[in-house]
Chain A
Amino acid sequence: MGMAKVLVIGSINDTGLIGLAQKLESPEIHYLLLGTGGDATQLGKYGGR
Chain B
Amino acid sequence: MGVAKAYILSAQIDEASFSETLVDLINANNYSVIAVPVSKFFKTAIAITAQKLSAPLIVDVIDLKQSGNVLEVTYNGIGNRAQVTVKVTDRAFLMAPPARFKPVEKATAISTETLQPKAIPSIKVVSTEEKPKGKVRIEDAELIVSVGRGFKKQDDLKLAFELAEVLGGAEIGCSRPIAADLKWLSEDHWVGLSGHKVRPKLYVAIGISGQPQHLAGMMESKTVVVINNDPNAPFFKNCDYGVVEDLYKFVPALTKRLKELLKK
Asked whether, in the complex, the Cβ of B112 is within 8 Å of the Cβ of A46, the reply is no
Asked whether, in the complex, the Cβ of B32 is within 8 Å of the Cβ of A1, the reply is yes
Chain A at the B interface: SS class = mixed
Q: Which of B61-69, B119-127, B224-232 contacts A (4 or more CB under 8 A)?
A: B61-69
Asked whether, in the complex, the Cβ of B4 is within 8 Å of the Cβ of A29, the reply is yes
Which residues from 186 to 203 on chain B have a C-beta closer than 8 Å to any C-beta of chain A?
none
Asked whether, in the complex, the Cβ of A21 is within 8 Å of the Cβ of B71, the reply is no
Number of B interface residues at 8 Å Cβ cutoff, please give it: 52
B97-126 Cβ-contact flags toward A at 8 Å (1 or 0): 111111111111110100100000000000
State the Cβ distance, B112 to closest chain A Cβ, in Å: 4
Complex Cα spacing A25 to B174, Å: 42
State the Cβ distance, B119 to closest chain A Cβ, in Å: 17
Asked whether, in the complex, the Cβ of A23 is within 8 Å of the Cβ of B34, the reply is no
Q: Assess whether B215 is interfacial by the CB under 8 Å rule.
A: no
Asked whether, in the complex, the Cβ of A25 is within 8 Å of the Cβ of B66, the reply is yes
Name the residue among A20, A22, A31, A43 with the largest chain B CB count within 10 angstroms: A20
Complex Cα spacing A9 to B96, Å: 11
State the Cβ distance, B10 to closest chain A Cβ, in Å: 5
B32: contacting residue among A5, A9, A18, A43, CB under 8 A: A5
Number of A-B contacts (CB under 8 A): 167
State the Cβ distance, B118 to closest chain A Cβ, in Å: 13
A10-49 Cβ-contact flags toward B at 8 Å (1 or 0): 1000111111111111111111111110001101111111
Complex Cα spacing A27 to B96, Å: 18
A residues within 8 A CB of B33? 4-7, 21, 24, 27
Asked whether, in the complex, the Cβ of A44 is within 8 Å of the Cβ of B1, the reply is no
Complex Cα spacing A33 to B10, Å: 8
Q: Assess whether B241 is interfacial by the CB under 8 Å rule.
A: no
Q: Which of B23-31, B78-86, B163-171 contacts A (4 or more CB under 8 A)?
A: B23-31
Asked whether, in the complex, the Cβ of A33 is within 8 Å of the Cβ of B108, the reply is no
Q: Hey, which bits of chain A sit against chain B, CB under 8 A?
A: 1-2, 4-10, 14-36, 40-41, 43-49
Name 21 A/B residue pairs within 8 A (Cβ), A-sorted: A1-B70, A2-B69, A4-B33, A5-B33, A6-B31, A15-B98, A15-B103, A16-B99, A18-B101, A23-B64, A23-B66, A30-B6, A32-B6, A33-B8, A43-B6, A43-B110, A47-B109, A47-B110, A48-B108, A49-B2, A49-B104
Given contacts A9-B36, A24-B71, A48-B2, 11 further A-B contacts (CB under 8 A): A4-B71, A5-B33, A14-B98, A16-B100, A18-B3, A27-B2, A31-B5, A32-B7, A40-B112, A44-B107, A47-B109
